[in-house]
């Protein structure tokens, strides 16, 4: 069983929480013996696709933006070569993805606190995605768990 748990993905995922109906809309099984084999998260009544569909600032809204950016800038983000920029930094993960036509620079604050930050790549940076409102950003600081993707010009 220990080996199976190491190889299985089930311990790292949960069913999609579609709505606030029983089983989060993931299954229509009703009787206890027919419940889905994967338990839905307890927060499904508050956090689900139906509640976030029309909210651009929700987690679902962010993922929609991220997928759009990934598709629009596939050259570096999907097909580009990965280069870890600051491997020794325990607070911020930063890397570049270099495609045939463009280069992207990704910075991720891995801490639950604000951290100092400065660009470690040459060139002008054009922000294309962040999980923090641009008005709240600081040029020398990343908020807790902040993520940014820039195009390097």
Express each pLDDT in 76-106 by its tens digit: 999 999 999 998 999 999 999 999 999 999 9
Q: What is the reported pLDDT for 29?
A: 67
Question: What tokens appear for 23 in the block?
Answer: 């089983």
Q: Please tell me the predicted confidence (pLDDT) of residue 75.
A: 97
Cα–Cα distance measured from residue 108 to residue 95, given in angstroms and rounded to the nearest whole number: 9
Q: Could you count the other beta carbons within 10 Å of the beta carbon of residue 144?
A: 12
What is the separation of C-alpha 47 from the centre of its chain, rounded to a whole number of angstroms? 16
**The tokens of 124 are what?**
């002008």
Residues 143 and 69 in one domain: yes
Range of the domain at 8: 2-53
Q: Assess whether 127 and 80 both reside in one domain.
A: yes
Domain identity same for 49 and 71 = no
Rounded Cα–Cα distance for residues 63 and 20 (Å): 20
Q: Looking at residues 113-141, what average pLDDT do you find?
A: 94
Query: Which residues, in sequence order, are CB contacts of 136 under 8 Å at separation 6+?
Result: 143
Total number of domains in the chain: 2
What pLDDT score does 150 carry? 97
Question: Per-residue pLDDT averaged across 141-150, rounded?
Answer: 96
Tokens of 90: 């325990």
- Please give the span between the terminal C-alpha atoms of the chain, in angstroms, as a whole number: 51
58 in any annotated domain? no
């Amino acid at each position: 069983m220990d080996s199976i748990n190491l190889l299985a993905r089930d311990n790292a995922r949960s069913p999609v929480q579609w709505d606030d109906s029983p089983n989060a809309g993931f299954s229509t099984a009703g009787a206890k013996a027919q419940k889905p084999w994967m338990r839905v998260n307890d927060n499904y009544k508050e956090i689900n696709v139906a509640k976030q569909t029309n909210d651009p600032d929700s987690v679902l809204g962010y993922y929609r933006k991220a997928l759009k950016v990934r598709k629009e800038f596939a050259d570096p983000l999907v097909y580009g070569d990965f280069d870890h920029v600051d491997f020794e930094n325990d607070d911020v993960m930063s890397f570049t993805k270099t495609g045939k036509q463009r280069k992207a620079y990704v910075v991720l604050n891995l801490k639950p606190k604000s951290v100092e930050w400065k660009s470690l790549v040459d060139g002008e940076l054009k922000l294309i995605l962040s999980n923090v409102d641009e008005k709240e950003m600081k040029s020398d600081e990343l908020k807790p768990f902040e993520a940014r993707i820039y195009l390097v010009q």
